[in-house]
Amino acid sequence: MNQMEFTRRFLMKSVGAAGLVGATSSLGLSRAFAADPLKIWTIGVAKVGEEPGTGGKDWGDMGAQAGIDIVYNAKSGSADQAIQKFVLGDGNDLYDAITDNGGGMEDALASQGAIAEIDTAMIPNWENIIDVYKAGGDAADTIRYEDVVYAIPYISNADSIAFDFDEIGEEVTTWEAIFSPEFKGRVSLQNDFGPTFTNTAIYLKQSGKLDITNPSDMTADEVAGVAEFLITKKQEGQFRTFWDGFQNGVDLLASGEVLMQSCWEPVQIFAKSKSGKDIRYGTMKEGHQTFNNVWMLTQGGVDRGMQEQFYKLMNLYLSPWFGARTLATFGYAPSMKGVLEYIDSAPEFSPELRETIANRMARKTERYAVAGNSWQNVFPTEIRAYQDWWSKVQSA
């Protein structure tokens, strides 16, 4: 299913979807009471704890800081399943606010009326948002649909390679390393065609090994070229495995089963903490896939009058309080200005933690500055080619 087919299919279903949302409106006309909790559908790393460097026991610290009560439900399913749930299913009946990938999901859900336009004037900390998200910025379209803001970024990063510095003995600075015979059988890639195809495409493009115009939105022939490269490497025994799930990624690195792998930065941070090894997160000279995850206000949340609670929580997500803690805990890049100044003045951040954060930010700044970076695209034009060729990589 390509982008046009995707859009057309959901537009054809929009009549039914509109009926559903309308029904939701009629059933949920009662306005929210002050004590009504905000019902959220999201992932565990969306929260942090009061103590820096922790995710907190539950959502109590986040709710206390925002001044609201929160009912949390764990997000599950693929992007397609999420769209079905909120356009045709019971998502709008159940949840007031949800998270998913920017750069696609906000377009898919906004185009079907499943989420509501964001009134940025209701978020005082909106003025703190970093320039990349402002109109004209590199990531402006990852929170907008038809130039209207529908999402708030809360975590982001430039994904790279985590590597065991103790074993390798030097910094890893190129994707070439993960495909090098020197590390045959001791490397791992993420079991997800989005970042794995994109990062491989960035490497092949920047090294001159394959002609690729846009690694984030490849043609069918370009996808085939990237996949055939990975299939060849896989059949040569280059990859120990394709990691699947956060804990699997951590265990592979911590145990020494692999020396390096493409992964999220939290995987590197937790593998380092678990093993005590000098596991680092590198800057690749060819570039990285940059991504964000965003909050969205459901139409059901609007119908139930939950905007005030939603905007209080979003104001927290754009505060240095949250930015400092998600950087310290998971290594995610701040979406707002003033984080380092906040850390310097906050007594709960120890000198050791400040040094760790400073090092992490310095490496992050280097990664974001690489010219070859490409922002994520959840629904590339030739998504059917991506899916078909990923199946071939998996079965090779």
| Domain shared by 260 and 389, yes or no | yes
| Domain shared by 89 and 217, yes or no | no
CA–CA gap between residue 164 and residue 258 (Å, rounded): 9
pLDDT of residue 57: 87
Q: Is residue 172 part of a domain?
A: yes
pLDDT of residue 253: 97
> What CATH number did the domain enclosing 340 receive?
3.40.190.10
| Domain shared by 144 and 164, yes or no | no
| Domain shared by 312 and 181, yes or no | no
pLDDT of residue 381: 92
| Domain shared by 164 and 151, yes or no | no
pTM metric for this prediction: 0.86
| Domain shared by 63 and 48, yes or no | yes
Q: Tell me how many domains the chain contains.
A: 2
| Domain shared by 270 and 383, yes or no | yes
Q: Is residue 24 part of a domain?
A: no
Q: Is residue 221 part of a domain?
A: yes
| Domain shared by 169 and 254, yes or no | yes
pLDDT of 79-119, one tens digit each? 888 999 999 999 999 999 999 999 889 999 999 999 999 99
pLDDT of residue 9: 40
Q: Is residue 249 part of a domain?
A: yes
pLDDT of residue 374: 93
Low-confidence ranges of the chain (pLDDT < 50): 1-30
Q: Is residue 230 part of a domain?
A: yes
Domain that holds residue 193: 160-287+373-395
pLDDT of 120-179, one tens digit each? 999 999 999 999 999 999 899 999 999 999 999 999 999 999 999 999 999 999 999 999
| Domain shared by 251 and 389, yes or no | yes
| Domain shared by 283 and 312, yes or no | no
